[in-house]
Chain A
Amino acid sequence: MSHAVKTDNAEPALPPKAKAALSEGKRAERRLGLLLCAPAILIMAAVAGWPILYSLWLSLQRYDLKFPDRTEFVGLENYVTVLSNPYWWNAMWVTVLITVVSVAVELVLGMALALIMHRTLVGRGIVRTSTLIPYGIVTVVAAFSWRYAWTPRTGYLAETIAGGDPVLTEKIPAIMVVTLAEIWKTTPFMALLLMAGLALVPDDLLKAAAMDGASAWQRFTKVMVPVMKPAILVALLFRTLDAFRIFDNLFVLTAGSQGTSSVSMLTYNNLIKGLNLGIGSTMSVLIFIAVAIIAFVFVKLFGTAAPGGDGGGRR
């Protein structure tokens, strides 16, 4: 009984006190966490957050530096202008074409390279290094070498493959060359990401598949690819986002002539060359939205494709 009396006495005081002590500790921890994050958040807000908001604001105005006194708020009028413009849609299709073709080819080539790098026993270092060389070269420098190679009379590719034709001056051939340059440049990156994925496939699994009667191709398609699917999707996401923003290769190879502009190129031409801040900002916001959609689709895809609880069978 004395026990009950005791608790009765203590009841009003004890629980709130314990609760307060607990939440106070937690609150202090949370405050410390926020404080530690604060510098990074501030810097991000200054260099990323503010420009995004500012361009969003600019995209809602008529703002052309050639006619600064005609600046005014026009709402979504810029979006209507851009989205009903054939140049924009041409650039969009060019970008999508380059993205889809280059990423698809890179996936196949990158997988082949990754398998070679993964399997090589002799001279592993040399094989890996030589595979990665294109990725190590500055894009602009590489693009120039592609341009020279495809220039008639002086370029060896133009003389041998194209038979002296100026391929970079025609729309479709130029896009093909740009895509090729893009593939050459970034396949090693794809291969690196895929090689990391290959390391996720335990040797025993492939041996087991061999014992179960799978041919080399079946082992690849039925065991290796499904197991490394998360790594493949990450590689695809990275490369797709990257390819969608294509600029430097195009800038050097065609400068966007003959309707070969990508959306980034078109935005640059409007914003920097044309000094039209309103239209340029609208385009950059649209690119931002497109990239966000790509990322969203991929991440949603991960959600459904990630093997139900990772790590089954592998330790």
Chain B
Amino acid sequence: MAEIVLDSVTKQYPDGAVAVRDVDIEIADGEFIILVGPSGCGKSTTLNMIAGLEDITSGELRIGGERVNERAPKDRDIAMVFQSYALYPHMTVKENMAFPLRLAKVDDTTVEKKVRDAAEILDLTQHLDRKPSNLSGGQRQRVAMGRAIVRSPKAFLMDEPLSNLDAKLRVQMRTSVSRLQKRLGTTTVYVTHDQTEAMTLGDRVVVMRGGAVQQVGAPQFLYDNPANLFVAGFIGSPAMNFVPAALEDNVLRSALGDVPLTDRVRGLLEGADAPREVIMGLRPEHFEDARLVDEAVRAKGVTFTNQVDVLESMGSDKFAYFSLQGEQATSAELAELAADAGSADVPGGGVSLVARIAATSTAVAGEPADIWFDADKVQLFDPGNGRNLTYRG
């Protein structure tokens, strides 16, 4: 067990392409940290540099206080779980899990005991003599975890370990990974492109984009206080809604109507040097069916009327989808997020919105509905550089 420090770590390939730029992360001993971002953001490269599978171009990597830049992977005492599991097909489950111990020349009785223990933790005891090809996806995944934990390394590195599982199993395994990490208390760096995994698993989340760290923080903090448009759009499902707006004295003019600036928002904006044209961000849960909101509360927000395109009932609540007339919010960050989500090619003029409203709402798809939102919850972004103007750091 050890802390891991990345001190302005940079990866540049011989052809000049920079995969990771000046990454500074301090990972505490026993911490579960998630690297998240769209494909090509440099999260896997960062993980591989910690592992020693890729060289570090500049900067320093310290594990347990020691510089390890020049050490081979085998000398760093860290274990890794791969997306493909990378199980040795010619070895049984037992041999797979024992492999790191055998290489470390551990004596037979200890190997036997450690493998038994790991198999018990991961519920693999009855599969020890089977070959990986005879196991299900979930079992293979557990064997890969087992191979990592038998050695009691200083840290675990996990490269999208759950991506190859089907949705239901992924949720199950997510909780067992979390439980396992808490039980062992080993420093863990976990790479994923799935923001749900990032939100649910980590003590802290590192959001990356284009090789640079966007924001580091606890999941809830990132959700409530995204540093920029990219983090705002990436964290949360369904994603935050973005509507272009114009800032005037005490009011925000937008396609949703005029939004009064509350004291909180005004206070945060004061030192922010905000431009006139901004992007207004609203989380889906900050909307509500206007009919279900008290008069008193209603006055603190804005009510608008629009046709509901699609209404999805989730049981506990409903998702209402709207399209507004007017320009879509544009920025480099939003374009990248759309490209990553694959929605860049989906045609649709105007602004689309998602609102999470109470299950008791009587809104009907295809008909207009009165929707209210909390004016105090708006976040404002600078379309030029994506900065959150209402960021409370």
Contact = CB atoms under 8 A, between A and B. Distances in A.
Given A212-B100, A212-B147, A313 B79 contact: no
B173 to A, nearest CB: 18
A312 interface: yes
A311 interface: yes
Given A226-B90, A308-B133, A313 B84 contact: yes
Contacts of B134: 308-309, 312
B74 interface: yes
B84 A315 contact: yes
Nearest to A216: B72
Given A226-B90, A307-B90, A312-B131, A213 B103 contact: yes
Interface residues of B, number: 31
A309 B133 contact: yes
Interface string B212-255: 00000000000000000000000000000000000000000000
B82 A208 contact: yes
A208 B84 CA distance: 10
Interface in B60-81: 72-74, 78-80
A207 interface: yes
B26 to A, nearest CB: 23
B169 interface: no
Interface string A8-45: 00000000000000000000000000000000000000
A307 B130 CA distance: 12
Interface in B9-67: 51-53
Contact of B53 (A210, A307, A308): A210
Contacts of B321: none
B386 interface: no
B99 to A, nearest CB: 5
B85 interface: yes
B281 interface: no
Interface of A: 202, 204-205, 207-215, 218, 222-223, 226-227, 229, 307-315
- 7 cross-chain pairs, A with B, having the tightest CB-CB distances, nearest first: A312-B133, A208-B86, A312-B89, A312-B132, A204-B86, A212-B100, A313-B87
Interface of B: 51-53, 72-74, 78-80, 82-90, 99-100, 103-104, 131-135, 140, 147, 151, 157
Given A210-B72, A210-B74, A314-B89, 4 more contacts: A211-B51, A212-B100, A227-B88, A307-B90
